[in-house]
Chain A
């Protein structure tokens, strides 16, 4: 059987039943492809065994880039490239450069982090997502299980385990 084509899809109505269901399904040795929810369910990432996201590190690095670029730009422009006497003050001193440095730090951190998020999540305007169940953005939580990955278990067994774990509905979904 080809991977990423044939799925069993469990529909859950309630987020607490879903959390419990995820634990039950995983403890029975089934590997879950992904769970799609209409809103963020707290604790779901831990229940699925996902590691923490490294996006905060990306944000920090982008912010640091902003700080360094802003300071270099200001010291180079007013201190080296064209020093100007403005009100008898120093050509280049740190305190008046702080506001612009702060703003550019925030700007680069925010834009860089969001761009990283879109890239790692493979989100783009012209992409149509592969939907396991159209109700997953409305009010249902949808658990998808790839049959090829779980070749050790039969389809009927997986469907039985899903029902026992609290799924209100269990369907098959095949992609071309």
Chain B
């Protein structure tokens, strides 16, 4: 008895049965890693090693190793921080907001997207940590812990401190949400290991699944927990980038002092997050042969979200420009004139091209259903979003109030190394996840097999 909608495209193709779902997804956890996986993992480890070397050198000698100067005190570190946090917004958006809206297409992509979120937030959090120069005392500076200075407490009026709470809460709640989803799937792998006679794997995955059994009462509670976590995560995900934007918006620097920042940053975060999800999933579906679960239809829907959020970002850019003229504040006007015409104009126009013009190509159905075009454009969007943060941060401060302080920012090898280091963390973690954890939420996909699987003749 299969119910197939006449108007919606199937979410799972290839006439899969429930048993096929267990098999197709568990297979890559059970088998030996392929040569392609080893190669990708090796490259990630190499990035991690070289980046790690740069990190240690920086920690040893201090942040003077970076290219920062007296005028530009924030550059790549905060750019990369905001960039990674932005990327970390898609996962929870997909799993929480799309769950509340009952969008079933989220089911085959939410697991990998959430994993990506968690790794991206780790990468993001490393930048403020390293920027403190002395990581080991960072806890005292960032958290309200009793200390020997009084206790002298942290400043709860500061957006930088709100950031600490927002990012750490976001990380913890996303991790818990992701892990809750994994529990029933670990039990699938455990039971398959029992059948295959692999005792060690059965033991490990049983521990990971907390002894999951799947009784009706447990499922009832589980669904309730998932729904409430989604309800909690939805305002949380919106609050995180709002608070990140407060770092800038509550300051008095022209170009930063903008009330439009919170919604503009949230839209940009979703925009870049979906681009990164696409980049990773297009590779994952190919490497693990999951084309029947992550279909062209999924890719098309994600591309539509990219058009929407990309257009919001474009409108935000234009609004900023308009207000800088309309307000008639000379400093504000100069900040934007300098962005467009000044020495960083190339960064500004790269941002405009990558973020505003390129996603508009997805209006054409042929492009948004093409894998190659989607892959290329998803990378272009992420380059554009990196430039957006660079433009906001560096071009707003490199022309200080006194012309004698005007400078440029030039990254050193250690700025680049720090960035490479986070790529190393991100990809190493992602490849480990893709090998040892089920990359698609089996329990959820099984629950929709009957209604949205492609009918077989």
A residues near B (Cβ < 8 Å) are 14-16, 34-41, 44-45, 48, 50, 53, 55-56, 59, 73-74, 77-78, 81-82, 84, 86-87, 89, 96-97, 99-100, 102-104, 106-107, 109-111, 113-114, 117-118, 120-121, 123-131, 134-139
Contact = CB atoms under 8 A, between A and B. Distances in A.
A22 B212 CA distance: 22
B37 interface: no
B222 interface: yes
Interface string B173-203: 1001100100110011011101100000000
Contacts of A99: 159, 162, 165-166, 239, 243, 246
Contacts of B192: 138
A48 B216 CA distance: 8
B153 A78 contact: yes
Interface stretch (B126-134, B224-232, B298-306, B333-341): B224-232
Interface string B417-457: 00000000000000000000000000110110010000000
Contacts of A40: 219-220, 222-223, 443, 447
Interface of B: 1, 17-19, 22, 144, 150-153, 155-159, 161-162, 165-166, 169, 172-173, 176-177, 180, 183-184, 187-188, 190-192, 194-195, 206-208, 210-225, 228-229, 232, 235-236, 239, 243, 246, 443-444, 446-447, 450
A114 B222 CA distance: 9
A49 to B, nearest CB: 10
Majority DSSP secondary structure for residues of B touching A? helix
B19 A100 contact: no
A73 B161 CA distance: 14
A128 B211 contact: yes
Given A16-B1, A106-B173, A137 B221 contact: no
A128 B206 contact: yes
**Top 3 A-B pairs, shortest CB-CB distance:** A127-B211, A139-B18, A123-B210
Contacts, number: 188
A17 to B, nearest CB: 9
B156 A131 contact: no
Given A125-B210, A126-B207, 10 more contacts: A36-B216, A81-B151, A99-B239, A99-B243, A103-B239, A111-B172, A123-B183, A125-B211, A134-B191, A136-B213
Contacts of A127: 210-211
A63 B122 CA distance: 25
Contacts of B172: 107, 110-111
A74 B153 CA distance: 9
A123 B176 contact: no
Contacts of B191: 131, 134-138
B230 to A, nearest CB: 11
Contacts of B215: 34-36
B214 A37 contact: yes
A153 B225 CA distance: 37
B210 A124 contact: yes
B212 A106 contact: no
A103 B165 CA distance: 6
A77 B151 CA distance: 9
Contacts of A74: 156
Contacts of B155: 78, 84, 86
Given A48-B216, A56-B224, A96-B156, A138 B169 contact: no
